[in-house]
Amino acid sequence: MEFDQIIQEFERLSDVDFAENMKKFGIHYVRSYGLRLPQIRKVAKQCGKNHDLALKLWNHGYHETYLLATLVEESEKVDSEQLDDWVNTFYSWDLVDQACINLLRFIPEARENIFIWCDSDEEFVKRTAFSLVAVLAVHENESDFEMYFDILKEGSKDNRNFVKKSVNWAIRQIGKIDLENNRKALNLAYEILEMDNKVSKWVARGAIRELESEKVQSKFK
């Protein structure tokens, strides 16, 4: 599909009520067509991978075109400037997480930038660091995730909703890889639980509750 065809399709599918409902789930945006993710993914399949199209979609500035851009972008063509520009544009948790799932995990520089983004003052840039760790734990579970433990401990102190939830998510995903990582993630969570910080304790308790659950533990038996 060409850019103009995509916009026409998005306008045809536009749902104002759903766009308003998105805000109830913490998804805030400047402009939105009010489309569901499966609808966007269906369009993405008709587009294929296309760097120039991804740039046009990103510059269009609608919530759905941002999401579609992460699906059609060619990871090998993303340079440092574009990577910084896109990540610093993030404004919602779902855009962060979809970008990590669809694109950032395939970009070596993005992985390296985890250790930079985790210190950002911007909530959604910082979320990107920890969400990317979580996504990597899902898709590349043979990696060494202990390298992220120090930044996860530090990140657990951040009271901002979408940061602390991403730290919790990362710990939980690491702990669901296998028995060895489960033990390591639980040890990390208990270390965080001992920290004199209310937010850290919230992060730790949530991780411990899931990682010690029968559902998770039964996977390793």
pLDDT classification of 88: cutoffs 50, 70, 90: very high
> What would the CATH number be for the domain defined by 113-221?
1.25.10.10
Q: Say how many Å lie between the first and final Cα of the chain, rounded.
A: 48
CB contact set of 118 (below 8 Å; sequence gap of 6+): 126, 129, 130, 151, 154, 155
Contact status, residue 114 vs residue 132, Cβ threshold 8 Å: yes
Q: Where are the domains of the chain?
A: 1-92, 113-221
pTM of the full structure: 0.95
User: What's the pLDDT at 54?
Assistant: 98
Residue predicted with more confidence, 44 or 26: 44
pLDDT tens, 110-149? 999 999 999 999 999 999 999 999 999 999 877 899 999 9
pLDDT tens, 72-83? 999 999 999 999
